[in-house]
Amino acid sequence: MDKAQFKGANVQHFGSTNEILIRIKPQAVSSAKLSSKIIHLLGDDIDIRRVEFVGPKVGEELTNDGGLAMLYALIGILIYVAFRFEYRFALGSISALIHDVIITLGVFSLLQIEFDLTVLAAILAVIGYSLNDTIVVFDRIRENFLSTRHTDSKKIINGALNQTLSRTIMTSVTTLLVLLALFFLGGEIIHSFALALLIGVVIGTYSSIYVASSMILALGISKEDLLPSEKEAKEVDSRP
């Protein structure tokens, strides 16, 4: 395909072993001429079932839909974490997720790697993975705030990070082993997908430890912010 001026073409089995899917970059020829060129290249005994073209308008719509999906995910996460913990925790988790997305996109832009829908799906997966790591750290931070007599927020957060550090590293390493296998053995089709996940998991591990926790500390989180109100405390005490 490269010799026939179809550089960067992706060929994969589609359905049965006798059917293949060919993805090529936009060509300055009609669909009929393109089909004839492929038949001439591969032989007259092949049958072209369907030719589809994703133009700029369709690509723009897909990009906009993907961006909205990412925005809705971040808003949902913000609301969930605010109710589950406290609004400072929500702002800390969102700042870490935005940090992960920006750096992942920045690496793709720096390396001039094509950004497609598979990469967008990988970024959404990175958001979920990074959030899971952050929630584990936040849960330990809240637990330490409520169970210790110390009032120094910096010491409490530092202790929680030390307690969850081994779990965070072990989880990330095992995930990276799988992603490395996908990157090197998964083929060209999922190469960008695996690369985005590799970058996102590394950055997400870093951000859940340093960015999210530092943000809630900068926002002034304290033990008093996590203690239940007097009304809630009375309701708990009155329960059998």
Contacts of 75 (CB under 8 A, 6+ apart): none
pLDDT digits over 160-207, tens only?
899 999 988 999 999 999 999 989 887 777 888 999 999 999 999 989
Positive or negative, the CA dihedral 191, 195, 197, 201 is positive
Residues 74-98: what's their mean pLDDT? 86
What are 177's two structure tokens? Answer: 């082993």
According to the model, what pLDDT value does residue 231 have?
44
Residue where the block lists tokens 């073209």: 53
Q: Report the 10 Å Cβ neighbour count for 197.
A: 26
Structural domains of the chain in order of their starting residue, each with its CATH number: 1-53 (no CATH), 56-230 (1.20.1640.10)
Residue 24 vs residue 154, higher pLDDT = 154
Band of the pLDDT at 235, cuts 50, 70, 90? very low
Question: Which residues contact residue 183 at a Cβ distance below 8 angstroms, ignoring those fewer than 6 apart?
Answer: 191, 194, 195, 198
Compute the distance between CA of residue 46 and CA of residue 126 in angstroms, rounded to an integer.
Answer: 41
Which amino acid belongs to residue 181? A
pLDDT exceeds 70 at position 113:
yes
In whole angstroms, how far apart are CA 45 and each of 10, 32, 38?
Answer: 21, 17, 12
Which residues, including other chains, have CB under 8 Å from residue 88's CB and lie 6 or more apart?
Answer: 215, 216, 219, 220, 221, 225
- What share of the chain has pLDDT > 90, as a percent? 14
**Percentage above 70 pLDDT, the chain:** 69
CA distance readout (Å), 63 to 43, 54, 59, 104, 121: 36, 12, 6, 16, 11
Q: Which residues pair with 23 in a beta bridge?
A: 10
Residues in the chain: 240
Asked if residue 3 has pLDDT above 80, the reply is no
* pTM of structure: 0.72
Buried b (16+ CB within 10 A) or exposed e, 177-186: eebeebbeee
